[in-house]
Amino acid sequence: MASPKLNGTQQPVSNGIIAKQAVNQNGGHIGGALNGATQGGGDEERATHHNVVNGVAQDKMEEGTSDHPVNRLDGLPAEIRHLTQHFRPFHKVVHRSVQQTFNGYSDLLDQLSELTVAPSLTASNASYVKPQVNGAASGDQSPENLEKKDRILKFQQDQRALYIKFLVLHDWFQKSRGIDQVIEISMWMHDQRTHFAQAADFIGNMKRELAMWQVPNPDLQTAVEILSNGRASALSDLGYVPKKPLSSKEMLRTLEDINILLCTRLSLQDRVPEPLSKYSIHDGRVTFIVPHEFELDLSVADEDPTSQFYFIDFRYLFSQRSTFLSGRLHDDFASKVNDVLRGDGLLGCYNLLHDLALSHKLNSLRRQALDMVRKQWCESLRVNLINRTLVVQYWLNRPRPKSWIELGVKSGRRKNRRDRLRPAEPFLDLRWMPEKEENHEILVDFNASPLSIENMLCGAISRHSSIILERLYEKLLNFRLYAGGKHALELSISDAEPSDCSLHIQLTNSKHVTLSIEPITGSLILRPASSLSGRTEFELNRLQNPVDDGVQHISMLRCLVAEQEFTQHANIAGWKVVQTFRLSQRELRALFPSAVLRYVLIRQHSWQQNAMVAATFSMESDNWWLLYPGVQGSSGDPKALVPQRIPRVEWQEESKTNSTALLSQLKEYASGAITFKIAEQELKQKSLHFQSFALPQLQKHVPLPVMKVRYALTDEARTMRSLMSDAESKNEVHDDKKDDNPSWIQSTVCLGFCGFNKSTNSALLLAKGRTNASTDVLESLNSLVGSKFKINTKAGEFVMSFQVPIGISIVPELFTGLRNLDSLLSCLTIVKSFESVRIQSLSLSQIVIEYNPEAELTTSIDFPSSNSSVAIRLLPEGFNPHTRISHFIENLLADRKRRFTANLGGVLTMLSTTYPLLTLFDELEKLRNASDSAIESEASSSSTVRLHAIARSPTHYALQYFASSTYSSTMIARVEIFRHLRRDSPVWILRPAIEETFAYSRSSFINTALKQKLMDDVFNIRGAHGWLGLDTGALSPIDSPGPLVRKIDEVVRTWAKERLKDLLGESHGQEQQSSKDETRASASESAPIPNHSADSTSHHQQNQQHHQQHQQPQRPGTGGSNPTINGTIQGRPAANTQKPASQRQHSAKDIINLD
């Protein structure tokens, strides 16, 4: 039956043996055909081949000839292993290589298509190609084309080399037919030779082992002779008389004789070594007992005292003994001992058996150590036996120097000369080398029973662990946290059990950790396990020196646990942990002590960013700190922060609840303390006096102390405070107490913290002080001011409440409040000094004063603040005569060079003194309104005289008269009235306007006739007409300027009506300029009030110029006699040019002599 084929290849049969087949060009089995077929055989030749199973032809198996021996050489025996059993067919290798070549060529084409080649040469320029040496054209020599050619050539060369190898293999297969059979036969013959050699060795070993059990062949002839005759002729008979067997009594007597002989010999004759001094004699033998080592039984066989002892028995006395030798080995050992007894006596026997016992103990300990290595001490011990010295190294995996114990036999020789005379006796000893340093602290009793290497090793490890923990304990005791007993530190050591050695460390009030050393591996263990302790444990086990370097890691663990616990309690108590604000190491060392390892920054949600509480953790102590900005501090600059330690009392039973309660108590404590400390920093920066205090201990219900601040006005403010009003004011109130202390508030103000307002998220502070104001003033203030001030009128005390965010200084608001209170007291005092003035309402921002009850005139004044300037309103609006000078009043109140209260006093004085004059101006100007109505109704009739009253300043006014007609207007007279001191009393001075100034030159009257008329009717009159003539002017009392002004108005109007037509004719050339003057005068009179935020410095300079002008009248034409408003002359802009000196001189008769 033919075997199946696949792709023309013979397939293996079911038993796994490959059928033989010929190797031809179409591929075949590696190893060649086994039937000797010729090369190139076709299908017919391959069809004649027979399949072989187990070396038998397949066709013969089918014919039933499988039992016949195989006589042909076309197959192998079934027991021969085939060399070609696991080979692969050659044609499959070639087929797969062809597929790989095809795939590689396809990939190469794809790669070549990606390379862009420059356009080839056309037929027009092909003639210009440079020919090569061999006459062929160079073609396309571009780099891309060359690269393509290189790739194709390299691929073809690689494939060519591969197929050359296949060809060589194919040719070798054709020439090496039958080589595989030779190799398989050679392998089979080598196996047979090996089996023969092993069989010979087995037989030889068996023969040697049977020698011990060899029994001679039985002598049957001698046996038959003895059985039949009773004797054997081959055996000689010497004729000895057989000895009678001993009876029991004789045997007992013999043994007793031997006992007596042994006793006598050991007591009198033989010298017994000291180690064998303990013995007992019994049963015809002497038993020497060496404690903890062995027992030796000896006896004698002769009465001669010089005869030797003979070995009887030997026994070990320690528990790790093994069954002693028996049989032939026992006989050999007895022979050896008898030889030693014959030569060296008892001493030599003892030395031999003592060494044997020591060696046996050492081997027993070695066996125990090896057994430990195979069990729980695996990969943690290394056992070596070197020259009767057992070395056991422990803690193999630690990154520290090696540690081991040495168990060996010491010679026992003495070092000093005297002891050398004593015989040396070997003994077992232990040498302990912890981390390569010899330590003599371990004492091992090798006579103990049972003798255990594990106990010795545990003792060394226990002592080693104790040394490490003791050093750590001593290092930790150097820290104040444990040296002072605040935290517990407990050391437990043991000399026998390593697991009993531990170091109990208290990390916080509620967290503890136990440090121990694992006995087998030597790793340091921290219990209980946690993420922090696990990390620290990992770092400790990596250290070369766990004592010196381990303290740092334990310290860091303690600080990390304390930080974690503090953070948890802070979150429970409502604190916010500041994560974004981190300190560098340099900043940390600058703010806190150098021992600080960890810190936590917390704050309340309502606090400013520059206010925080820091908790620092170290091995010295755990502290809480206040962090607040220093001088020019900000939250982004850690160098500007100022730390202040918070003293606290540790509670006896501080648990989680108590810690949370303490942090809750810290909210108000830190809020007040930070507020006070920020205030101290600002007071120091401004060089203000205050009385600081030390922070009290943080505990339950302990308030913060009161900070005393000195409130005093600066020198500038004190100077301006003295200028309450003009010195000439007759309503000024003089108070000696007020002169000594310019402030109404006493210098010491107590500032206290009253808690934290949760609704406004701010600190509540109260300022308490005393005032020098009168009771009447305090009662008025208490009834008018709202709830921010509380005043005790009887005691003269006041209390002010403030609410400031945490991190903001209270100093500006405190001093603003004190200044406001001082201003209120000053305002009340000043207002009380005026009899006709009454306060309608009073608050911290506004005061409403009725300064003329008869006319029901009031003024509302808004106090200045940091955000707004002073503002004034005159009521009733539109009917108040002081509206004409309202902008001057506001500028005077806004003067920052004087205190507001001083300005207020001057304003009240001004309102009272100017009221008659301004009321008179309004009355006289009503005539102008009447004239305007008459002009409108009777336009074709006569003209009229119009008056314009212009305010140069609150104490300086200009009166201008114009002759008006339907088509023109002409100025006919200009006079001015101003206040002046005459014999320390204020008076009004009326005089003609100055004709020459720096800006212009203009006559005061339209002609000399009108001027002479005024001089005759007003200026030269000496009498009781209500004024006093001064030749070139007139004087009237401050409270009654009416007669003088009315007289001037009457004279001018009368004179103007009489000569109105002539005036209009004479002034026809000046008609256009006069109309412009009147228009300017009207505009100046009805000018709006300037902006409240105008610069007050220029207004103060104007007032000062007016005051100097009133103090000393100057000649007409001088620069200081012309009042200005904001640098311009009323009705004409100021010019920079000046008149020549010749034009600015006047005669002496123009000078007014007031005295």
Structure confidence by residue, pLDDT tens digits, 75-117:
555 667 777 767 778 888 899 999 999 999 999 998 888 887 7
Does 851 have pLDDT greater than 70? yes
| pLDDT over 70 (residue 1149) | no
Residue 968 pLDDT level (bands cut at 50, 70, 90):
low
Tokens of 675: 């507020």
Least confident range of 158-162, 591-595, 930-934: 930-934
Q: What is the 3-state secondary structure (H, E, C) of 770-812?
A: EECCCHHHHHHHHHHCCCCEEEECCCCEEEEEEEECCCCCCHH
Task: Tell me the pLDDT tens digit for each residue of 1081-1131.
Answer: 554 444 443 333 333 333 444 444 444 443 333 333 333 333 332 333 233
- The residue length of the chain stands at 1155
pLDDT at 685 over 60: yes
**Rounded CA gap, 833 and 766, in Å?**
31
Nearest residue to 927 (alpha-carbon basis) of 953, 961, 958: 961
pLDDT at 367 over 80: yes
Instruction: Dig out the tokens for 826 from the structure.
Output: 């000053």
Please report which confidence band the pLDDT of residue 528 belongs to, taking 50, 70 and 90 as the band edges: very high
| pLDDT above 80 for 26 | no
Over residues 270-292, the mean pLDDT reads: 91
SS3 340: helix
pLDDT at position 342, please? Answer: 92
Most confident of the ranges 45-54, 286-295, 424-433, 738-747? 286-295
- pLDDT-wise least confident of 906-915, 1010-1019, 1127-1136: 1127-1136
Q: What is the pLDDT of residue 422?
A: 61
User: Tell me, what's the pLDDT at 984?
Assistant: 84
CA distances from 241 to 231, 237, 248, 588, 701 (A): 16, 11, 22, 116, 124
Bond into 528 cis (ω within 30): yes
Tally of CB atoms within 10 A around 70: 18
**CB-count burial class (<10 Å; 0-12, 13-18, 19+) for 206:** exposed
pLDDT number for residue 700: 65
CB atoms under 10 Å from CB of 613, counted, come to 27
CA-CA distance, 706 to 708, in Å (whole number)? 6
Nearest to 667 by CA among 583, 572, 579, 593: 572
Within 10 A of 1056 (CB to CB), how many other CB atoms are there?
22
pTM value is: 0.57
From 938, 906, 944, 885, select the one nearest 1089 (Cα to Cα): 885
651 pLDDT above the threshold of 90: no
Q: How far is the C-alpha of 19 from the C-alpha of 95, rounded, in Å? A: 21
Cα angle 713-718-719, degrees, rounded to a multiple of 5: 155
CA-to-CA dists, residue 1039 to 356, 869, 882, 906, 1108, angstroms: 144, 32, 15, 16, 22
Q: Can you say how many angstroms the Cα of residue 9 is from the centroid of all Cα atoms in its chain? A: 78
Confidence of residue 391 (pLDDT cuts 50, 70, 90): very high
Q: What is the mean pLDDT of residues 721-745?
A: 42
861, 846 Cβ separation under 8 angstroms: yes
**CB-based contacts of 203, cutoff 8 Å, min separation 6:** none
CA 962/CA 960 separation, integer angstroms:
7
Closest alpha carbon to 385 in 369, 403, 400: 369
pLDDT tens track for 597-643: 999 999 888 888 888 889 999 999 888 888 888 765 444 455 567 78
CB 668 within 8 A of CB 615: no
Q: Which of 480-494, 821-835, 881-895 has the lowest mean pLDDT?
A: 821-835
Point out the least confidently predicted range of 98-107, 514-523, 999-1008, 1013-1022: 999-1008
Residues 6+ positions from 886 with CB-CB distance below 8 Å? 872, 874, 1089
What φ, ψ does residue 407 adopt, rounded to 5°? -115, 115
Tokens found for residue 899: 């205190």
Give pLDDT, residue 197: 95
The separation between the first and the last C-alpha atoms of the chain, rounded to the nearest angstrom, is 169
Q: How far apart are CA 379 and CA 368, in angstroms?
A: 15
pLDDT digit string (tens) for 943-965?
A: 578 888 889 888 899 988 888 76
Closest CA to 909 of 1102, 730, 1097: 730
CA distance 738 to 564: 61
pLDDT band at 392 (very low <50, low <70, confident <90, very high): very high
| 63 or 841, which is more confident | 841
Q: Give backbone dihedrals phi and psi of 612, rounded to 5 degrees, phi first.
A: -150, 165
Q: Mean pLDDT over residues 495-511, rounded?
A: 91
CA gap 520, 457 in Å, rounded: 10
Beta strand segments in 133-177, E: none
pLDDT in tens, 182-202: 888 888 899 999 999 999 999
Please give the structure tokens belonging to residue 182: 């030779």
How does the average pLDDT of the chain come out, rounded? 75
What tokens does 1071 get? 């008609």
pLDDT bucket at 47, cuts 50 / 70 / 90: very low
- Which is higher by pLDDT, 755 or 720? 755
Percentage of the residues of the chain whose pLDDT score is greater than 90: 22
